[in-house]
Amino acid sequence: MAIRDALWACPACHAFGAIRKDGSDEACSQCAARFDRTGGALIRMRDRHGDTVVRTLPEWESLLPPLDQPPVNRVLGPQNALVRNATPPAPVRVPRHGGTLRTRA
């Protein structure tokens, strides 16, 4: 799992959805903090001042703003979505057994 998928906001500046892929690391587009994985399940953050902090994912998550708080940069919220309907049910042939399975409508 990518770090940006686990952290919904930057732990350093609290900008929602600001962590993006940047080369082999991930970085915050707002404050330039850089994130990468270290041994085990630890995540390392290097801020723009050169300070480094290593924590577990639950420890990082405890520093994030709550999801029910409206984000300043309006990243979270209503999003357009494309919905496609599946084709009608059709028989599935099982040649090995010679039978036919039918899907339910």
* pLDDT tens digits, 8-25: 899 999 888 889 998 888
pLDDT in tens, 40-52: 889 999 998 889 9
So what's the pLDDT on residue 1?
Answer: 79
- Confirm if 17 and 8 have CB atoms less than 8 A apart: yes
Average pLDDT value over all residues in the chain: 80
User: Running DSSP on this structure, what letter comes out for residue 71?
Assistant: P
pLDDT band at 95 (very low <50, low <70, confident <90, very high): low
pLDDT band at 53 (very low <50, low <70, confident <90, very high): very high
The distance from CA 22 to its chain's CA centroid, rounded to whole angstroms, is 15
- Confirm if 18 and 73 have CB atoms less than 8 A apart: yes
Non-local (6+) Cβ contacts of 12 within 8 A are: 28, 31, 33, 45, 47
- The pTM score is 0.62
pLDDT band at 28 (very low <50, low <70, confident <90, very high): very high
Tokens encoding 18: 């600001």
So what's the pLDDT on residue 57?
Answer: 92
10-48 b/e (C-beta count within 10 Å ≥ 16 → b): bbbebbbbbbeeeeeebbbebeebbbeeeeeeebbbbbe
